[in-house]
Chain A
Amino acid sequence: MLELIVISTLNGILFGMLLFLMASGLTVIFSMLGVLNFAHASFYMLGAFFGFQISRWFGFWPALIIAPLLAGGLGALVERFGLRQVHKNGHVAELLFTFGLAFAIEEIVQIIWGKSPVDFRVPPLLDFPAFTIFSTNYPAFKMFMLLVSVIIFIGLLLVLKRTRIGLIVQAALTHPHMVGHLGHNVGRIFMLVFGVGTALAAVAGVIAGPALVTQSNMAGLLGPILFVVVVVGGLGSLPGAFIASLLIGLIQTFAVSMDGSLAGAFGPLSPDYAATWLSDIWNVTIAQIAPIMPYLLLVLILIFRPMGLLGTRDT
């Protein structure tokens, strides 16, 4: 039991930090541009596939640098030549544009790398068990993932709190028009933020690629969870996104490792209706409903706290 708790906590925090790498970019982009970037998870996927391709040519370490830069550059281009064009047509058009983009990126990835998972391997340097707890080997690569996401988290915090650009970004989170009035080049800030946000998602993609499955449906699987994180945390709230990421990471990891069910808990009662179509609910294990946990959380949050955990404004 203790083993399960320790391992699941580690994995949960790891997954949560990965989610935060993406959700932070998404929520900052949302606060500044007012656009919910539907294609954000697609940049995570692009990061993973770029990382795969580059690590095949030059090795994993260059890929860790180049792939996010490439994806971030693409993101900046998308903002400059796509979103800015659409901006005059309103937020719905912007959201639809990113939706179409997500669709197109998935198709392009399928064309280039195929539908089946690619063989993105852990670099040999990190391919050893970091430590052994309760006879379970914990891979060093996962510790590396955790390390990278923590470093980026701290770096992001420092940039936002300690630098001039961070100051402007923070100001633009709450008063985007005022920042424009003060004479900052809002267009360039937007492009920069979009580029950095998508690059962060791509970093998550490169480090998650070898550990999870690198496949053309990975954006579609993760995208909705990302939105749940942003809504649960509160739209536009970075601390909220952080808490929600960890929460969802932990919930999902713990749920997957539990196989309790109603039948298991109340089995001896064995009511009559358990034999009817309700038997699905009666017999389903917690591990089986793990995929829908985030969405259940979303619905609960919407009923009891529509602004999200730390959200302050209604959109």
Chain B
Amino acid sequence: MSDATATIAPPRPAASDRLKFYGIWIATALVLLVLPKLFSSGGSLTTFSLIGISIIFSLSYNILLGQTGMLSFGHAVYYGLGGFLAIHAINIIAKNKFAIPLPLVPLVGGAAGLLFAMLLGWVSTRRSGTAFAMISLGVAELVASSALILRTFFGGEAGVSANRTKVLRLFDWSFGPQIQIYYLVAAWTLIAVIAMYALTRTPLGRMCNAVRDNPERVQFVGYDPHIIRYIAFCFSGLFAGIAGALAAINFEIANSAYLGAVQSGTVLFATYIGGVGFFIGPIVGAIFVTLLSLGLSDLTQVWQLYFGLIFIAVVMFAPGGITGLLMMHRPLLKGGTLSRVLPSYLLAFIPTLAMVTGLMLAIETIVHYTVNPNEDSHIKAFGVPFDAANPAIWAVAGVLLIGGFIIARKTWARVAASWDDALTAAREKGVAA
């Protein structure tokens, strides 16, 4: 037995690798610590807190989608229930003066998420794929509609609110100011990220990947895919509950929107746009989508449409997400042939940019005529003022959109060709793709 493990197990990582590995985590912790010193305004602190919550939530979602291959349309259920339980916990703690400080409240949310995942997960994880997706949607609708019926617990349309400063104080931290909430969220984010990363390295994490790739084979090996999916589902619920509790603490309110389809959709968008194939993908996606939704809503009225279009574009052209796209370049970088594709990228960039600009111009012009036709036609989108009534603008939009598309298609073919060349060259140099 020991012989077998000695030959099968990979060699222990070298000291430099381990240093690099732990160095990354320590560096992350330091960055989290220093970040509020660099951007100390209230707005940026709120943004950081939202990003942290979104990172935990997206990573918990990726335990399902990326690691176990289960597409859920109702992940917000566990996020929302975690949030509600956390709010009720804060109220109860404050009322009875229990000796529980606020930083422990996310544990309540996590327990709630875990409990409901255990309760609802058994039936839904019996099947994977499309059936699971539909069932998750049905369960989500069930919970979201029930939340409006059980008014005493969920507070109806208005939701339940709490005062986070009323619980036991440790070291004189009241958790009133946003900076303290930021540190609370940052600490929990770091803990959750480390825990979820560790989970991927356990035998369970490996079996999850096996269930995703080939459930039949897993059965032959002697595992029950249903049980593995169920355990993964429970872990995912746990971390979603923690994220929900942090969100509830951050806003001091929990309402039915936490449980709703929009929330489930947002986490799906964030995770997939970031990339489900790599652990870091959902982190990138959470940062990208949070910043995008905060930034775009200032720039244009119809930011959700752009959001949907970006998502469709990622699904169609970059199924690996942002990290998948970046990681594709690793073999080229190692083989030293990256310089071969860069010129064709540059070439493709210009007509693609023209096409996108044309599309945006067309959308904004149409939006002006359909949403607010009676207002002044001199509108401003993405900080650029233009006259929507001007036929020249229409012509420019059309030319950019159609001309850009025709030229861009040719350059995309060129990108693909030069990409193949570069990859072959890199392989010849002995770099595994």
Contacts and interface: CB of A to CB of B under 8 A. Distances in A.
A314 to B, nearest CB: 7
A295 B139 contact: yes
* 10 interchain residue pairs of minimum CB distance: A295-B142, A104-B308, A107-B305, A100-B312, A103-B308, A277-B152, A100-B311, A298-B138, A292-B145, A89-B319
Interface in B223-268: 261, 265, 268
A133 interface: no
B378 interface: no
Contacts of A228: 138
A92 interface: yes
- Most A CB atoms within 10 A — which of B126, B151, B302, B316? B316
Interface string A101-126: 10110011001111000000000000
Given A86-B315, A231-B138, A91 B130 contact: yes
Contacts, number: 124
Interface residues of A, number: 50
17 contacts: A34-B130, A91-B129, A91-B130, A92-B65, A93-B319, A100-B311, A103-B308, A103-B311, A111-B302, A231-B134, A280-B149, A289-B149, A292-B149, A299-B123, A299-B138, A302-B123, A315-B130
A281 B152 CA distance: 10
A284 interface: yes
A228 B367 CA distance: 35
Contact of B135 (A93, A112, A284, A298): A298
B137 interface: yes
Nearest to A83: B316
A299 B71 contact: no
Contact of A111 (B69, B124, B261, B366): B366
Contacts of A100: 308, 311-312, 315
B150 A96 contact: no
Contacts of B127: 306, 314-315
A92 B69 contact: yes
Interface residues of B, number: 45
A303 interface: yes
A292 B139 CA distance: 10
A112 B369 CA distance: 9
Given A230-B134, A235-B131, A96 B268 contact: yes
Contacts of A113: 370
B130 A96 contact: no
A280 B73 CA distance: 27
B34 interface: no
Contacts of A244: none
B305 A92 contact: no
A36 interface: yes
A291 interface: yes
Interface in A1-44: 30, 34, 36
A306 B152 contact: no
Interface string A196-238: 0000000000000000000000001000100110110001000
Given A107-B302, A314-B127, A299 B139 contact: yes
A111 B134 contact: no
A279 interface: yes
Nearest to A101: B312
A227 B74 CA distance: 14
B148 to A, nearest CB: 9
A280 B137 contact: no
Contacts of B315: 86, 89, 93, 96-97, 100
Contacts of B309: 104
A96 B71 contact: yes
Interface of B: 65, 69, 71, 73, 123-124, 126-127, 129-131, 133-135, 137-139, 141-142, 145-146, 149-153, 261, 265, 268, 272, 302, 304-305, 307-309, 311-312, 315-316, 319, 366-367, 370-371
A298 B134 CA distance: 10
Contacts of A170: none
Contacts of B302: 107, 111
Contact of B130 (A93, A95, A107, A280): A95
A97 B272 CA distance: 11
Given A294-B138, A302-B126, A306-B127, 13 more contacts: A93-B315, A96-B71, A96-B272, A96-B311, A99-B73, A103-B308, A104-B305, A111-B367, A227-B138, A277-B153, A280-B152, A306-B126, A315-B130
- Most A CB atoms within 10 A — which of B131, B139, B304? B131
B141 A224 contact: yes
A182 B202 CA distance: 47
A82 interface: yes
A172 B283 CA distance: 42
Contacts of B153: 277, 280
B71 A111 contact: no
Interface string A274-286: 0001011100100
A163 interface: no
A279 B145 CA distance: 17
Contacts of A291: 145
A95 B71 contact: yes
Contacts of B142: 292, 295-296, 298-299
A174 interface: no
A291 B147 CA distance: 12
B297 to A, nearest CB: 13
Contacts of B367: 111
A36 B130 contact: yes
- Most A CB atoms within 10 A — which of B124, B153, B311? B311
